[in-house]
């Protein structure tokens, strides 16, 4: 059995998860100049990889010590309790989100909203579609990540058990499942047809990689990450990805991408976590860890506090972001799509997300009055982050 080292809490996780939640909110509004500042426009990966990786890292951070101290059964029970919380949140989000879209589409006589957000099937067959939604087979647009997280956590007790005893085997097993899913087109069925937009059998790789890094990999690979050669290779790959992505937006630059190279790398598939996307995230993580230390001064600044608070309350802020992104999209389509309105709506959405996160943290503090309040708050935040 490999020695277990309880990981230290890393505030950078909350910061970057909060940033990912902001990016997801901005990216969910297709007509929005502000989303040019998100990850997806500068490389192969985007906020989804960041969110899933940190979710795996945090799940290991929260539940790993429980498995060591109290055993597999208790840890599995805690994980499945979290699965239930996520499932309830998803169903609640589904009902409110569909009601929001249907109301707007009907009130403003614009059925394109229903079609664009993939709820036409629900409006035509609500009884069957609702049942399929309960089974996680039917999902409106922008609601794909949470069901993936639910599926990943269902299998996490076994993964965590194996990570404790044979971390390398666990990571290799995850890579093997990823490869087999690509080779045989494995995925979960969706309703009314097709497969899941975000294939959990492929995306589990980045989730397990995050857990592996939390428990073993970060410490073992510390010297590798500090290597100038490794950092140089990672930086070169990020520049390569940036050049390719820019060619998508500037057609004249696409002429400089060699045909054999284009044939090799395209299509860069998000649904099945294309290997180029995974490599891009790893390169981004290497550069970030190398140049953003744990005691990074920005983390203590007032400007970073709203981002960290959103990261600490990730589930609730994700759900709120889904609501706000559609409201913002509605205003941009029906009221005004001007650049000033795009900036205003983006700023208001982020402000509302930050204010809600601050209010939730305040509630946690007030509910934890008395001796050990700070300790209980930390435990609440850790549980919520998972």
DSSP conformation letters of 58-115:
HHHHHHHHHHHHH-HHHHHHHHHHHHHHHHHHHHHHHHHHHHHHHHHHHHTT-THHHH
- Domain locations in the chain? 11-385
CA distance 26 to 96: 20
Q: What does the pLDDT profile of the chain (386 residues) look like in tens digits?
A: 444 555 556 789 999 999 999 999 999 999 899 999 999 999 999 999 999 999 999 999 899 999 999 999 999 999 999 999 999 999 999 999 999 999 888 888 888 888 888 888 888 888 899 999 999 999 999 999 999 999 999 999 999 999 999 999 999 999 999 999 999 999 999 999 999 999 999 999 999 999 999 988 777 787 888 899 999 999 999 999 999 999 999 988 888 899 999 999 999 999 999 999 999 999 999 999 999 988 888 999 999 999 999 999 999 999 999 999 999 999 999 999 999 999 999 999 999 999 999 999 998 888 774 434 443 334 443 444 44
Contacts 24+ apart (CB under 8 A), 172-176: 174/204, 174/205, 174/208, 174/209, 175/205
pTM, 2 dp = 0.90
Dihedrals phi, psi of 142, to nearest 5 degrees: 75, 10
**Over the Cα atoms of the chain, what is R_g?**
21
pLDDT reported for residue 2: 47
DSSP conformation letters of 4-34:
P-PPPP-HHHHHHHHHHHHHHHHHT-SS-GG
The answer to whether residues 219 and 5 touch, using CB atoms and an 8 Å cutoff, is: yes
The answer to whether residues 154 and 86 touch, using CB atoms and an 8 Å cutoff, is: no
Q: What is the 3-state composition of the chain as percent helix, strand, coil, each rounded to the nearest 5? A: 75, 0, 25
CA distance 79 to 61: 12
Farthest CA pair distance, the chain = 67
CA distance 269 to 211: 23
pLDDT reported for residue 122: 85
pLDDT reported for residue 114: 87
Task: Give the angle 14-140-206 at the CA atoms, nearest 5°.
Answer: 40
């Amino acid at each position: 059995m490999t020695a277990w080292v309880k990981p230290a809490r890393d505030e950078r996780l909350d910061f970057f998860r909060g940033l990912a939640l902001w990016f997801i909110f901005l990216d969910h509004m297709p007509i929005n100049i502000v989303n040019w500042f998100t990850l997806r426009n500068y490389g192969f990966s985007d906020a989804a990889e960041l969110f899933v990786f940190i979710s795996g890292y945090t799940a290991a951070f929260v539940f790993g010590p429980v498995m060591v101290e109290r055993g597999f059964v208790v840890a599995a029970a805690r994980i499945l309790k979290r699965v239930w919380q996520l499932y309830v949140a998803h169903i609640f989000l589904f009902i409110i989100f569909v009601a929001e879209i249907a109301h707007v589409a009907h009130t403003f006589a614009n059925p394109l909203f229903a079609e664009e957000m993939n709820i036409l099937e629900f409006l035509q067959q609500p009884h069957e579609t609702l049942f399929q939604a309960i089974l996680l087979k039917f999902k409106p647009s922008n609601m794909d990540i949470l069901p993936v997280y639910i599926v990943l956590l269902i299998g996490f007790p076994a993964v965590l058990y194996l990570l404790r005893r044979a971390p390398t085997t666990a990571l290799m097993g995850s890579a093997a499942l990823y490869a087999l899913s690509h080779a045989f087109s494995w995925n979960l069925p969706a309703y009314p047809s097709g497969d899941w937009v975000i294939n959990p059998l492929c995306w589990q790789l980045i989730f397990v990689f995050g857990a592996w890094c939390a428990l073993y990999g970060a410490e073992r690979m510390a010297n590798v990450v500090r290597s100038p050669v490794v950092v140089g290779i990672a930086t070169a790959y990020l520049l390569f990805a940036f050049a390719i992505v820019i060619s998508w937006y500037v057609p004249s630059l696409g002429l400089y991408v060699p045909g054999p190279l284009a044939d090799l790398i395209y299509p860069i598939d998000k649904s099945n976590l294309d290997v180029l996307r995974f490599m891009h995230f790893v390169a981004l993580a290497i550069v970030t860890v190398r140049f953003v230390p744990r005691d990074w001064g920005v983390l203590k600044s007032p400007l970073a506090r709203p981002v960290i608070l959103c990261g600490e309350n990730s589930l609730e802020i994700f759900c709120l972001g889904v609501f706000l992104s559609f409201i913002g999209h509605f205003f941009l389509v029906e009221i005004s799509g001007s650049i000033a309105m795009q900036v205003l709506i983006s700023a208001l959405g982020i402000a509302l997300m930050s204010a809600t996160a601050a209010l939730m943290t305040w509630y946690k503090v007030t509910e934890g009055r008395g001796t050990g309040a700070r300790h209980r708050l930390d435990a609440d935040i850790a549980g919520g982050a998972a």
